[in-house]
Amino acid sequence: MLGELNIGLIGCGYWGPNLIRNFRSLTECQVKTVCDVDQDRLRHMKKLYPEIVTTNQEDDIFNDTAIDAVAIVTPVSLHYKLAMKSMKAGKHTFVEKPMASSVAECKEMVKLSQKQKLTLMVGHTFIYTSVVRKIKEIIDSGEIGEICYISSRRLNLGLFQNDINVAWDLAPHDISIILYLSKHPPISVSCQGKAHVAEGIEDVTNMSLDFSNGNFATIQSSWLDPNKIREMTIVGTKKMIVYNDMEPLEKIRIYDKRVETPPHYDTFAEFQCSYHYGDTYAPYIKQVEPLKVECQHFLDCIRTGAKPDSSGREGLLVVQILEASSQSLRNNGIKVSIDILS
Distances from the Cα of 67 to the Cαs of 28, 43, 72, in angstroms?
Answer: 14, 21, 14
Q: Are residues 56 and 146 in the same domain?
A: no
Position 232 in a domain: yes
- Per the CB < 8 A criterion, the answer to whether 109 and 100 are in contact is yes
Q: Examine the pLDDT at 289 and tell me if it is beyond 80.
A: yes
Q: Are residues 165 and 92 in the same domain?
A: no
Q: How does pLDDT run across 204-222, given as a tens digit for each residue?
A: 999 999 999 999 999 999 9
Q: Are residues 198 and 91 in the same domain?
A: no
| Helix extents (H) in the chain | 16-24, 39-48, 59-62, 79-88, 103-116, 130-141, 166-181, 290-304, 312-330
For residues 99-117, give the mean pLDDT. 97
Q: How does pLDDT run across 124-135, given as a tens digit for each residue?
A: 999 999 999 999
Q: Are residues 263 and 144 in the same domain?
A: yes
Q: Are residues 20 and 155 in the same domain?
A: no
Band of pLDDT at residue 261, cut at 50, 70 and 90: low
Phi first, then psi: give them for residue 4, nearest 5 degrees. -65, 135
Q: Are residues 43 and 158 in the same domain?
A: no
Domain count for the chain, please give it. 2
- Percentage of residues of the chain with pLDDT beyond 90: 87
Which of the 8 DSSP states describes residue 282? -
Q: Examine the pLDDT at 196 and tell me if it is beyond 80.
A: yes
Q: Are residues 133 and 117 in the same domain?
A: no
State the Cα–Cα distance between residues 150 and 166, nearest whole angstrom: 20
Residue 69's SS3 state is strand
State the Cα–Cα distance between residues 99 and 111, nearest whole angstrom: 14
For residues 75-89, give the mean pLDDT. 97
Q: Are residues 188 and 221 in the same domain?
A: yes
User: Could you tell me which of 95, 88, 96 has the C-alpha nearest to residue 62?
Assistant: 88
Q: Are residues 63 and 201 in the same domain?
A: no
- Per the CB < 8 A criterion, the answer to whether 71 and 23 are in contact is yes
Position 147 in a domain: yes
Q: What is the pLDDT of residue 267?
A: 59
User: Could you tell me which of 156, 154, 192 has the C-alpha nearest to residue 333?
Assistant: 192
Q: Examine the pLDDT at 272 and tell me if it is beyond 70.
A: no
More confident residue, 105 or 261: 105
Band of pLDDT at residue 138, cut at 50, 70 and 90: very high
Range of the domain at 12: 5-123+290-309
Dmax (CA) for the chain in angstroms is 77
Q: What is the pLDDT of residue 260?
A: 67
Q: What is the pLDDT of residue 277?
A: 77
More confident residue, 249 or 178: 178
Q: Examine the pLDDT at 264 and tell me if it is beyond 80.
A: no
Band of pLDDT at residue 326, cut at 50, 70 and 90: very high
In the predicted model, what is the mean pLDDT of the chain?
Answer: 93
Position 314 in a domain: no
Q: What is the CATH number of the domain that holds 48?
A: 3.40.50.720
State the Cα–Cα distance between residues 123 and 128, nearest whole angstrom: 10
Q: What is the pLDDT of residue 342?
A: 46
Q: What is the CATH number of the domain that holds 282?
A: 3.30.360.10
Pairing of strands 5-10, 29-35: parallel
Q: How does pLDDT run across 33-67, given as a tens digit for each residue?
A: 999 999 999 999 999 999 999 999 999 999 999 99
Residue 160, number of CB atoms within 10 A of its CB:
13
